């Protein structure tokens, strides 16, 4: 059996397969799904070649779904916090998270112009799987986006409600695919092919052993700033070049989702979300003007406190703020590795109008850390 720390379910190499060294101890799968109850699904849409014809393609896009709880518990809230490092992007539901520190329903991540479809389709999904579940409540799903218009017919409406529901239905709590899959299908980082990536870390604490998992949709960064484990590689990796046959589109972003089973309160989860950009910075991401760098963190703990009925007194366990440093380490480490996994588990891609994005040269990268 392939080692999930080294390869994806499809057999693509992950960053550790190139002998790149990382800090911290990963979970069993080195994925956000190492947090019990969390699952991830995706739908990938790739079709057509040649000149852009809006509505027909070429298509290089998709949607990713992250379920904080199993489908049967999709309406059970999770404590959460978020952080916008640079706000040229969208994450729906953020206002309620800022207000009450919690959310329900699956998280979806897709391309910029499909964000609304993903949000609305999530409500359609819950109405299908739990009829009547929203009769006396409301749904404010979290849907986030990054821009894939360099490779994809982003105005063509190719992501449908059926695709979103299929991604949610496909969610698994095992190893998950990385690279050009799901919402990450058409994404680019440091002018190399990027997209979806994940990683996790174990945190040992007096209160027990916990997991912190990260998932990123990586679509950011300038080639000159590329950094891998402290090595500035921009100049050395100037080739192969991205080939632009259409006007340059400086639209870049990263969405990061942090999950943990540690009992943390909303303000503590917001503190975790604020550390994710430090992991981005370790790879050379500097939150430039057009970048939407938005991060969400949630905890699967304290279920009983979040399901207390009207008028009840709820009790929640939480770790002391003074003991959060190891969790900050874990967020930064897992975010950095998730981004590098998104780059390594990838291949060259040609999209609309012949626009070409090369994969990062894995042989050259491996040679640096041999």
Residue 1 has pLDDT above 60, yes or no: no
- 157: nearest Cα among 59, 292, 255: 59
Residue 346 has pLDDT above 80, yes or no: yes
Across-strand partners of 89? none
Residue 306 has pLDDT above 90, yes or no: no
Residue ranges covered by each domain of the chain: 15-37+70-105+143-152+175-368
pLDDT at residue 309, rounded to an integer: 78
pLDDT at residue 247, rounded to an integer: 63
Q: Residue with structure tokens 């009547």?
A: 132
pLDDT at residue 96, rounded to an integer: 96
Q: Residue with structure tokens 């207000």?
A: 99
Catalytic position from the list 293, 304, 325, 329? 293
- CA trace torsion 338, 142, 44, 48 (10° rounding): -120
Report the mean per-residue pLDDT for the chain. 95
Catalytic position from the list 39, 180, 291, 299? 291
Residue 248: pLDDT band (50, 70, 90) is low
Give the pLDDT mean for 241-248: 75
Percent of the chain with pLDDT over 70: 98
Q: Which CATH number fits domain 15-37+70-105+143-152+175-368: 3.60.70.12, 1.10.3720.10, 3.90.1150.10, 3.90.320.10?
A: 3.60.70.12
For residue range 181-216, what is the model confidence (pLDDT) as tens digits? Answer: 999 999 999 999 999 999 999 999 988 999 999 999
Percent of the chain with pLDDT over 90: 89
Q: Is 293 a catalytic residue?
A: yes
**Pairing outcome for strands 142-146 and 107-111:** parallel
Across-strand partners of 193? 188
Catalytic position from the list 42, 252, 253, 299? 253
Residue 176 has pLDDT above 90, yes or no: yes
Residues ≥6 apart with Cβ < 8 Å to 152: 58, 59, 60, 61, 111, 158, 185, 186, 351, 352
Residue 249: pLDDT band (50, 70, 90) is low
Cβ pair 125, 170 in contact under 8 A? no
How many Cβ atoms are within 10 Å of 311's Cβ, its own excluded? 5
- CA trace torsion 286, 289, 293, 294 (10° rounding): 140
pTM of the predicted model as reported, rounded to 2 decimal places: 0.97
Q: Is 252 a catalytic residue?
A: no
Query: Considering only 36-50, 248-262, 345-359, which range has the smallest mean pLDDT?
Result: 248-262
Residue 45 has pLDDT above 70, yes or no: yes
Cβ pair 252, 217 in contact under 8 A? no
For residue range 94-115, what is the model confidence (pLDDT) as tens digits? Answer: 999 999 999 999 999 999 999 9
Residue 138 has pLDDT above 90, yes or no: no
- 14: nearest Cα among 276, 367, 365: 365
Q: Is 291 a catalytic residue?
A: yes
pLDDT at residue 282, rounded to an integer: 98
Token pair of 271, please?
């503190």
Query: Considering only 50-54, 79-83, 135-139, 281-285, which range has the smallest mean pLDDT?
Result: 135-139
Residue 133 has pLDDT above 70, yes or no: yes
């Amino acid at each position: 059996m392939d080692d999930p720390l080294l390869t994806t379910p499809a057999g693509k190499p992950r960053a550790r397969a190139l002998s790149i060294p990382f800090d911290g101890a990963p979970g069993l799968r080195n994925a956000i799904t190492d947090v019990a109850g969390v699952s991830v699904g995706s739908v990938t849409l790739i079709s057509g070649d040649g000149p852009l014809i809006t509505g027909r393609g070429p298509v290089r896009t998709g949607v990713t779904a992250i379920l904080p709880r199993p489908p049967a518990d999709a309406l059970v809230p999770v404590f959460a916090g978020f952080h916008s490092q640079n706000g040229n992007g969208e994450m729906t539901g953020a206002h309620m998270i800022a207000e009450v520190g919690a959310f329900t329903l699956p998280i979806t991540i897709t391309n910029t112009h499909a964000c609304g479809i993903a949000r609305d389709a999530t409500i359609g999904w819950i109405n299908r799987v739990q009829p009547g579940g929203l009769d006396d409540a409301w749904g404010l799903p979290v849907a986030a986006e990054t821009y894939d218009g360099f490779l994809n017919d982003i105005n063509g409406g190719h992501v449908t409600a059926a695709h979103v529901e299929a991604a949610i239905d496909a969610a698994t709590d095992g190893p998950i695919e990385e690279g050009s899959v799901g919402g990450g299908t058409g994404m680019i980082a440091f002018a190399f092919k990027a997209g979806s990536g994940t990683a996790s870390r174990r945190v040992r604490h007096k209160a027990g052993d916990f997991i912190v998992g990260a998932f990123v949709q990586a679509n950011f960064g300038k080639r000159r700033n590329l950094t891998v484990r402290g090595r500035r590689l921009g100049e050395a990796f100037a080739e192969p070049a991205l080939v632009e046959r259409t006007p340059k589109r400086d639209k870049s972003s990263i969405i990061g989702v942090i999950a943990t089973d540690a009992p943390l309160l909303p303000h503590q989860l917001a503190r975790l979300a604020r550390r994710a950009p430090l992991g981005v910075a370790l790879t050379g991401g500097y939150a430039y003007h057009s970048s939407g760098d938005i991060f969400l963190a949630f905890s699967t703990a304290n279920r009983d406190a979040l399901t207390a009925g009207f008028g009840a007194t709820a009790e929640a366990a939480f770790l002391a703020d003074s003991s959060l440093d190891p969790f900050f380490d874990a967020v930064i480490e897992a975010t950095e590795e998730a981004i590098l996994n998104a780059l390594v588990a990838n291949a060259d891609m040609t999209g609309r109008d012949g626009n070409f994005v090369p994969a990062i040269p894995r042989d050259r990268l491996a040679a640096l850390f041999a």
